[in-house]
Amino acid sequence: MNLFLKNIIRLFIIIIILFPHNLAWTIENKILLKVNNQIITTIDIHEEANYLKALNPNLKSLDEKKIIDIAKSSLIREKIKEVELSKYKETKINQDYLEQIIKSIYTKIGLQTKNEFIKYINDFGISLDVVKTKLTIETHWNQLIYKKFFSKLKVDKRLIVENIKNKKEKSNSYLLYEIVFNINENIADNKIFENIEKSIIQEGFENTAAIYSISESSKTGGNLGWVSDNNINNKILKKIQNLKVGQHTEPILVPSGFLILKIKDKKTIEKKIDIEKETNIRIRSLQNQQLNQYSNIYYKKIKKDILINEK
């Protein structure tokens, strides 16, 4: 073997060792799926897998096939939303709002600054522009859901104010993770319940959320962040308030399907209550919960009319 060839091989090995996430160009790029007129390639799935592993580090414990399946499902969901959004006039996204979403993402994974986040995702071969593109699609989708269903939201402001006035200055706050899923009619005896429970035991709750959950939170392992008990409806609060840290609920029937909640942590908060401010927070929280349910219902509806071809 001549010296030139030896140097080329040595250089290639060094690149593999130093840049394991930047090898998309080594993968044969071919079309794997078509979602109507939207294509998904092997490179797309490779990059989506890296993106999801960046948002949910727990995914690294899964075998590569499961990660690829999760990435494929995630991209199909994104493409279906793009197909639907293409029917409507695109609105401009407020950049400050986009920055707030980015901040909420990197704080959830324990990073302090945007620069730390950029360096972190670059290590996975993901640029900030890719993140912004994905968040822009999701923001446009949320705007569409808001326009379609805002008039159907039901919030009793008077009851909220009464509850706030009757509350003590101490409240519980829960670090919640969720799995939202539908029953597949092809699964006999609702076997999906057993599959999810088995997966929680074997793969952990966060990875199970990535595998089974239809909620957008699945990309971060179902992470909902800290939620005050004041912002949780009574039906769900009754299911979680006696759980210990690390435990999860049985499936809870909600309008968009079924919900499983896990308490990752909890704390007691003491604060002086500003009735007007607390009322607005609770109204937004309840509206967001209902909009998320409408989002899942609407997605399920439009998916029926989408043609998905696997090559």
Q: Domains of the chain (ranges plus CATH)?
A: 15-151 (1.10.4030), 166-276 (3.10.50.40)
- Predicted confidence (pLDDT) per residue in 264-300, tens digit: 999 988 777 788 888 998 899 899 999 999 999 999 9
- Predicted confidence (pLDDT) per residue in 81-98, tens digit: 999 999 998 888 888 999
Task: Say if residue 9's pLDDT is above 80.
Answer: no
Average pLDDT over the chain reads 86
Instruction: Specify whether the backbone of 98 is left (phi greater than 0), alpha (psi in -120 to 50) or beta.
Output: alpha
Q: How many other C-beta atoms lie within 10 A of the C-beta of residue 215?
A: 20
Report the 3 state secondary structure along 194-241. Answer: HHHHHHHHHHCHHHHHHHHCCCHHHHHCCEEEEEEHHHCCHHHHHHHC
- Could you give the 3-state DSSP secondary structure of residue 11? helix
